[in-house]
């Protein structure tokens, strides 16, 4: 059934006109299977080529004909060794794919230094066929630009997934460690196909139970499934675990008993999971325990855990998503204020994990001011793949353009060209550790991600983590070819839909820099009217600040002065009404309703125009998709069509509710031609 289970690894037959050529280029497979990773590469090639070409290549020990594919490392394959392909510079995870000749026979070498590189190369080779590319004269060299490419699962031990819209957790904790759902291996294959090399199994809000022996055994069983695919397991660690499961009175990071407890815990974990990656920690944020409960700093907390992991080679990923019990004057400023003074105070095996923006995974945020501001502390990127604020699983919103926008943003911290990507890949500050995290959108739904198009976000995240300079459009095209079709008249319209979809969501939800106006708690649908409640920054009115005279959050010097957290050239641009990119207008400025925007329209008219434009885009996507009826299998076509109908309804809801509400402040009529809110 075309239920989406196979993700982008569908391996359906290639276009008829290519079959002959491809068969000739992949007629024989020379690949060892002496280790689990080698076996994984060989099995994937056999399975993939069988699906794509209708027949699997012959396995052989040597090259006996044209069209051999040789896979391996200088130590796993005498043939690869003999070819002297200079793999060394590719590092442990890199690979090359090159057209070579072996004793007069034409062949393709997939070579690496390490088995895992060869596995990545095998997936790349398959992708060439899946995307309809020629196999002649290949000369591909790839190695990841970011070392740690990790998924963060916000999965609770009871099967619930926080902000998950794809069903329950895929980790069947109750049946682990003895029952290993075959799905775990498919999960590992999908991730390895992108180069994802780490996974945090449990929610950052997890209870300490996940660190008890019973659950560590379950995690170890998963680690064993993932190991051949180059994926290391990490766990979220609750800071107060020494109290909750250790029987101590305190979790003070400077307390010797507490240190000893964590050292023992680390030892226990590494006995079960020798390649355990380390801990992810959410501390002193949204009510989670942390070092500040004892008057200690984030660095004290992170370093204590880092010391426990260091003898085993583990890493601490300490999150910078903090917001405290006290109400800040501007929530956007807190992470920077707390972390910048700690730069240089963290151990070598600590990374600080920073969300792309300073508020919270909004449809659009300016880049987080921490990027570039902590030269002595490796900062990881945290993107959200699950669409907490972007329409859950039903809205078609392709996130790669959003990731790209953040990665390309220029922090100016070391002059022009100091992009966020260069912070993350370590080149700007010479970080020894580098990493990117994506909050997973994976669940037990048959199609993994809750919708077919949400698979693209998992895919794109993985590709951009491998290479933060990849273009969102190229990634979309690859994915469409692998997932739906290689026919040009399918690829182009679908890529087109995807590429504008995020901007459309910004338009119908929060145009011009508006943010955090979603329903309280669940974050579903519009609720710009929320006021009251326990604290000011848990309301919508806190963020939009609409009054009879204008709208927007003044973050310039006359307001919260959050702009001052950016490097001076950026601060000047964001802080200046004339220069601020219009997409961030109301993020940084409070502006009168009749303010003239760059289109010439007054602000109120421009807002309405954008809301409407967002809805229109969704309507166009429906049209386009309708036109593809018969070109995509009926099962997936029908579900996407149904979800697009939901999206249109909800985009309209967003528009109408937002316009009706803000009109109570602006007191202005709708521009001519605009339909009144239903």
Q: Which residues bind ligand GCW (CB under 6 A)?
A: 154, 162-163, 204-205, 282, 286, 321, 360-361, 388
The two three-digit tokens of residue 421, written as one number: 């990507």
Residue closer to ligand GCW, measured from CB, 154 or 654: 154
Nearest to 371 by CA among 314, 320, 301: 320
Residue, CB closest to ligand GCW: 360
Question: What is the DSSP code string of 611-669?
Answer: HHHHHHHHHHHHHHHHTTBTTB-HHHHHHHHHHHHHHHHHHHHHHHHHHHHHHHHH-PP
Smallest separation, CB 270 to ligand GCW (Å): 26
CA-nearest of 251, 246, 338, 267 to 297 is 338
Residue 115 CB, shortest distance to ligand GCW, in Å, is: 35
CA dist 620 and 432 (Å) reads: 46
In the complex, least distance from residue 324 CB atom to ligand GCW, rounded to whole angstroms: 13
Tokens of 495: 């890529």
Q: How far is the CB of 195 from ligand GCW (least distance, A)?
A: 24
Tokens at 107, concatenated: 């062949």
For residue 360, indicate whether it is catalytic. Answer: yes
* Contact (CB, 8 A) for 301 and 283: yes
Residue 154: name the closest of 524, 492, 509, 437 by CA: 437
- Closest CB 337 distance from ligand GCW, rounded Å: 18
Q: Which of 360, 410, 425, 478 is catalytic?
A: 360
Catalytic annotation, pick one of 338, 388, 507, 606: 388
Q: Closest CB to ligand GCW among 146 and 440?
A: 440
Cβ atoms < 10 Å from Cβ of 583 = 15
Smallest separation (angstroms) from ligand GCW to the CB of 364: 15
Between 386 and 560, name the residue whose CB sits nearer to ligand GCW: 386
- The residue among 256 and 521 lying less far from ligand GCW, judged by its C-beta, is 521
Yes or no: say if 241 and 289 are a contact pair by the CB < 8 Å rule.
no
CB of 457 to ligand GCW, least distance (A): 16
Cis peptide bond upstream of 177, omega within 30: yes
Annotation says 257 is catalytic: no
Is the separation of the CB atoms in 142 and 61 below 8 Å? no
Q: Which is nearer to ligand GCW, 206 or 303 (CB)?
A: 206
Alpha helices in 166-255 (DSSP H): 182-194, 213-226, 241-244
We find the least distance from the C-beta atom of residue 539 to ligand GCW, in angstroms, to be 15
Smallest separation, CB 119 to ligand GCW (Å)? 32
Q: How are beta strands 379-384 and 435-439 bridged, if at all?
A: parallel
CB 456 within 8 A of CB 398: yes
Count CA atoms closer than 13 A to 375's CA, side-chain side. Answer: 8
Q: Is the separation of the CB atoms in 40 and 185 below 8 Å?
A: no
Question: Contact at 8 Å (CB) between 662 and 546?
Answer: yes
Separation between Cα atoms, residue 364 and residue 339, nearest integer Å = 23
Asked if residue 191 lies in contact with residue 44, where contact means CB atoms within 8 angstroms, the answer is: no
The secondary element (H helix, E strand) that includes residue 305 is: helix 298-309
* Catalytically annotated residue among 3, 158, 286, 629: 286
Tell me the C-alpha distance between 252 and 348, whole Å: 21
CB of 167 to ligand GCW, least distance (A): 17
State the alpha helices, DSSP H only, in 64-212.
78-83, 115-130, 182-194
Distance CA 99, CA 213 (A): 50
Sequence-ordered strand ranges (E) for 180-326:
198-200, 232-236, 278-281, 315-319
Instruction: In angstroms, give the least distance from the CB of 368 to ligand GCW.
Output: 13
* DSSP code string of 500-569: HHHHHHHHHHSGGG----BPTTT--SB-TT---SS-GGGSSHHHH---SSEES---STTTT-GGGGS-HH
| Smaller CB separation from ligand GCW, 360 or 537 | 360
487 as an active site residue: the answer is: no
Would strands 435-439 and 148-152 be described as parallel, antiparallel, or unpaired?
Answer: parallel
Is the CB of 124 or the CB of 355 nearer to ligand GCW?
Answer: 355
CA distance 574 to 562: 10
Which sequence positions are flagged as catalytic? 286, 360, 388
């Amino acid at each position: 059934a075309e239920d989406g289970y196979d993700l982008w690894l569908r391996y359906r037959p290639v276009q008829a006109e290519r079959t002959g050529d491809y068969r000739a280029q992949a007629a024989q497979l020379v690949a060892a299977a002496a280790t689990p990773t080698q076996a994984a590469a060989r099995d994937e090639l056999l399975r993939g080529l069988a699906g794509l070409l209708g027949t699997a290549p012959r396995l052989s020990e040597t090259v006996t004909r044209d069209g051999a594919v040789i896979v391996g490392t200088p130590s796993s394959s005498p043939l690869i060794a003999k070819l002297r392909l200079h793999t060394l510079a590719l590092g442990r995870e890199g690979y090359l794919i090159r057209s070579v000749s072996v004793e007069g026979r034409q062949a393709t070498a997939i070579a690496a230094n390490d088995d895992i590189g060869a596995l990545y190369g095998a997936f790349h080779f398959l992708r060439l066929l899946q995307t309809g590319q020629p196999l002649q004269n290949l000369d591909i060299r790839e190695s990841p630009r970011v070392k740690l490419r990790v998924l963060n699962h916000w999965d609770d031990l009871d099967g619930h997934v926080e902000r998950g819209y794809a069903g329950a957790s895929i980790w069947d904790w109750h049946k682990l460690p003895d029952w290993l759902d075959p799905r775990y291996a498919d999960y590992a294959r999908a991730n390895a196909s992108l180069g994802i090399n780490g996974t945090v199994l449990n929610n950052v809000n997890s209870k300490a139970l996940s660190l008890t022996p019973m659950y560590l055994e379950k995690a170890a069983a998963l680690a064993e499934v993932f190991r051949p695919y180059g994926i290391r397991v990490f766990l979220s660690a609750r800071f107060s675990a020494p109290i909750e499961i250790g029987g101590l009175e305190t979790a003070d990071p400077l307390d010797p008993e507490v240190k000893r407890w964590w050292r023992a815990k680390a030892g226990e974990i590494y006995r079960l999971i020798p390649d355990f990656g380390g801990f992810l920690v959410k501390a002193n944020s949204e009510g989670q325990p942390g070092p500040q409960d004892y008057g200690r700093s984030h660095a004290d907390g992170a370093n204590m855990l880092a010391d426990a992991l260091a003898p085993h080679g583990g890493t601490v990923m300490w999150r910078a998503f903090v917001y405290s019990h006290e109400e800040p004057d501007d929530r956007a400023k807190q992470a920077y204020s707390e972390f910048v003074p700690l730069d240089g105070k963290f151990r070598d095996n600590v990374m600080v994990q920073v969300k792309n923006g300073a508020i919270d995974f909004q449809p659009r945020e300016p880049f987080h001011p921490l990027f570039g501001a902590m030269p002595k502390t490796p900062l990881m990127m945290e993107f959200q793949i699950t669409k907490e604020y972007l329409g859950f699983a039903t809205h078609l919103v392709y996130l790669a353009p959003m990731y790209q926008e953040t990665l390309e943003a220029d922090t100016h911290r070391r002059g022009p060209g100091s992009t966020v990507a260069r912070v993350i890949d370590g080149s700007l500050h010479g970080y020894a550790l580098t990493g990117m995290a994506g909050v997973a959108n994976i669940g037990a739904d048959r199609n993994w991600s809750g919708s077919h198009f949400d698979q693209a976000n998992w895919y794109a995240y993985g590709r951009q983590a491998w290479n933060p300079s990849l273009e969102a459009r190229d990634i979309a095209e690859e994915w469409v070819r692998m997932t739906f079709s290689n026919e040009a008249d399918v690829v182009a319209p679908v890529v087109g839909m995807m590429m504008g979809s995020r901007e459309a969501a910004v338009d119908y939800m929060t145009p011009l820099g508006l943010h955090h106006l979603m329903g309280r708690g669940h974050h579903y649908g519009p609720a710009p009217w929320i006021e009251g409640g326990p604290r000011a920054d848990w309301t919508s009115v806190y963020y939009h600040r609409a009054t009879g005279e204008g709208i927007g959050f003044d973050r310039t010097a006359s307001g919260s002065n959050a702009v001052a957290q950016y490097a001076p050239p950026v601060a000047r641009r964001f802080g200046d009404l004339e220069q601020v990119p219009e997409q961030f207008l109301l993020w940084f400025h409070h502006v009168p309703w009749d303010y003239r925007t760059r289109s010439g329209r007054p602000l109120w008219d421009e807002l309405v125009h954008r809301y409407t434009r967002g809805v229109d885009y969704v309507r166009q996507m429906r049209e386009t998709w309708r036109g593809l009826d018969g070109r995509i299998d009926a099962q997936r076509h029908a579900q996407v069509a149904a979800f697009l109908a939901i999206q249109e309804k909800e985009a309209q809801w967003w528009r109408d509710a937002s316009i009706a509400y803000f009109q109570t402040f602006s007191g202005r009529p709708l521009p001519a031609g605009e339909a009144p809110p239903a």
